[in-house]
Amino acid sequence: MDEFLRSVEATLFASSEPLTADEIGNHVGEGDVAAALAELATRYQGHGIEIVERGGRWHFQTAPDLAYLLRRSREEPRRLSRAATETLAIIGYHEPVSRGEIEAIRGVQISKGTLDVLMEAGWVRTAGRREGPGRPLLYATTPEFLTHFGLASRRDLPGIDDLKAAGLLDPLDEAAMQALGQLALESDGEDD
Amino acid sequence: MDEFLRSVEATLFASSEPLTADEIGNHVGEGDVAAALAELATRYQGHGIEIVERGGRWHFQTAPDLAYLLRRSREEPRRLSRAATETLAIIGYHEPVSRGEIEAIRGVQISKGTLDVLMEAGWVRTAGRREGPGRPLLYATTPEFLTHFGLASRRDLPGIDDLKAAGLLDPLDEAAMQALGQLALESDGEDD
Amino acid sequence: MGEQLRLVRSEPDELTLSLDGWEGPLDLLLELARGQKVDLTQISILELVEQYLAYLAQARALKLEIAADYLVMAAWLAYLKSCLLLPKDPAADPSPEEVALRLQMRLQRLDAMREAGARLLGRDRVGRDVFVRGDPEGLLLVRKAKWQVSPFDLFAAYGAVKARSQPPMHVVHPRSVMTLDEAIERVSRMIGMAVEWTAIEEFLPRTDDPQLRRSALASSFVAALELARQGRLELAQDAPFAPLKLRAA
């Protein structure tokens, strides 16, 4: 195993968080980090641990099929309410998306706490404002979202291509939002 | 790689502390853990990471010869402030010289930070104390100073006559220095 | 949720009927639609409207509190139903069929996101299904300044220090001055005409150059003192800083 490969392996292994190729480069010096990562990923195939890329950042993790051995408890790391789960999915598949658009899709208002939970988990961030009436604040997912859910990129979101093809990810047209959107606005029911 | 070996590998990787063979056995079930550990240790030889045993407990660690990668310093170009440049020049021309003498020559007090920067840069070192009242600490240049400025020895520093010939001894007012351009770059880095 | 629905359909008198479990009218509609067919694109909107209205009627009969948005949706759906059943009005824009299609699309959207959320949560999640290294050494990147200064900067800096601290070198530029000799000559020549007290300024040459004027004043003053010492003129001043006056002795 050549020195450069060893260096990339050691750096990735020692890091407490996923690293971009550039960040690895800062530690290992001159060399083709991307090629080394690809080579390492191949070498670790079939091992109990593997090298994965999530949104341009790389990390070591245990092989998914060994989950049964390692699962520490039946509890999910973070129990998400139905409202939070749907909201997270809507942001992931539609980003960047405003709160109004999330509410239009769900047909109910979202409570402040729902977005807070997702931001606190580090999966959702604010992503500027949309130019236009009201300049609504936009939401998008984070690199941690991809890491946590094991997605190499947003293109890996389950079924995203089919949904796109079916027009289900198109921006909501104004008329439809008005036709049914007022229902959301009139509702004062909390959603989680 | 067989399932048992993969399981031991993943368990060891995910553990937050070194594990005994028995503890690993509790996770991975039936099998010869000791043999698996020995086999893994062999497989990881020559890698950037290795499996080691300390007092009957096993853990993964970064290969010791690569430990230097984990703590890396990156150099970022920064322009030396005018105060520091003048101080460096005075030390170069007058060494060994005390801080009081530097201030007398500059006509301005210098901050501790200025000398720290020069010492951090590796161009200035302390050079004992002068016998006399207060026993002031003396400063002198280092071999790196000569190297950086392309000087074979301090005798290569241009003399007063050379400076005069180059127009560097003319009493220039600030405006003229700015016009000169070269010095203007330093004026925003004043550190004392 | 599905269980509640089944209860409603099979045993309408069960008191388990509740609106609390639904996340708004759209959620309830979606659940009712799913009861029709698996494929949401094939549902009958008219039938869905009937189901929704029937559901609310039951809830009302059971004196359940019904949130306003469910009632608004009911009113809107009743209106949509009547539009769909009435003879077509070619002027209606959008047409009731189009509105129905949009409702169907919205249900599909919500359904898609609900399913996506479930699939997301079912993935191999870090900390549940896959694990990162338990005890990483951690990386540290120390940023160090690489100080930049050229030899020219260094020498120029020393030049600047020297230029500042060296005793200033005086270069005397040719200046318009009146020497003492000139002043003595001029004052002694002019004093013969000054029988009355005359201000010293009158003895100075006419000039617009303030430097020459100051020099002439100073030289003429010293000249006056010298000529007074020789007894050739008298000096008078009424008070300190008052005009200095000269006359022939």
- pLDDT tens digits, one per residue of B116-174: 999 988 999 999 998 888 899 999 999 999 888 888 888 888 887 777 777 776 654 44
pLDDT of residue A185: 41
Q: Which CATH number fits domain B82-190: 1.10.10.10, 1.10.150.110, 2.40.50.100, 3.10.310.70?
A: 1.10.10.10
Closest chain C residue to B73 measured between Cα atoms? C142
In whole angstroms, what is the distance from residue A105 CA to residue C173 CA? 87
- Is residue C107 a contact partner of residue C100, using CB atoms and an 8 Å limit? no
Q: Examine the pLDDT at B181 and tell me if it is beyond 50.
A: no
DSSP-assigned letter for residue A190:
-
Q: Residue A37: its pLDDT value, please?
A: 97
Residue C120 has what pLDDT?
94
Tell me, what's the pLDDT at A80?
87
- DSSP string of B93-126? HH-SEEHHHHHHHHTS---HHHHHHHHHTTSEEE
Q: What is the predicted ipTM?
A: 0.69
CB distance from C135 to chain B under 8 Å?
yes
Indicate where chain B has its CATH 1.10.10.10 domain(s). 3-70, 82-190
- Top-level class of domain B3-70: mainly alpha
Chain C 149-168, residues with CB within 8 Å of chain B CB atoms: 149, 151-166, 168
- B-chain CB neighbours of C170 within 8 Å are none
Chain B interface residues (partner A, CB cutoff 8 A): 1, 5-11, 13-14, 27-28, 46-49, 60, 62-63, 66, 69-70, 72, 74
pLDDT at B142: 92
pLDDT at C172: 59
Q: Report the pLDDT value the prediction gives residue B35, as an integer from 0 to 100.
A: 94
Per the structure block, which two tokens stand in for B85?
A: 């440049």
pTM equals 0.64
The residue of A186, A190, A191, A192 whose CB has the most chain C CBs within 10 angstroms, and thus the best one to mutate to test that interface, is A186
pLDDT at B20: 93
Nearest residue, CB atoms, A150 vs list C68, C112, C130: C130
Give the gap in angstroms from C-alpha B44 to the nearest C-alpha of chain A: 10
- Give just the sign of the alpha carbon dihedral B176, B179, B184, B187: positive
Q: Give me the residues of chain A with pLDDT under 50, please.
A: 74, 181-192
Dump pLDDT digits (tens) for C6-37.
Answer: 334 444 444 345 666 788 889 999 988 888 87
3-state secondary structure C185-245: HHHHHHHCCCCCCEEHHHHCCCCCCHHHHHHHHHHHHHHHHHHHHCCCEEEEECCCCCCEE
Q: Cβ A48–B72 below 8 Å, yes or no?
A: no
Residues, chain A: 192
Asked whether the predicted pLDDT for residue B184 surpasses 80, the reply is no
Residue of B nearest to A10 (CA): B48
Which residues of chain C register pLDDT less than 70? Answer: 1-20, 38, 165-175
Which member of A16, A19, A89 has the closest CB to residue C120?
A89
Q: Which residue has the higher pLDDT, B184 or A17?
A: A17
Tell me whether residue A127 is exposed, middle or buried, using C-beta atoms within 10 angstroms of its C-beta: 0 to 12, 13 to 18, 19 or more: middle
pLDDT per residue as tens digits for the range B108-124 = 888 888 999 999 889 99
B46 neighbourhood in chain A, CB within 8 Å: 1, 6
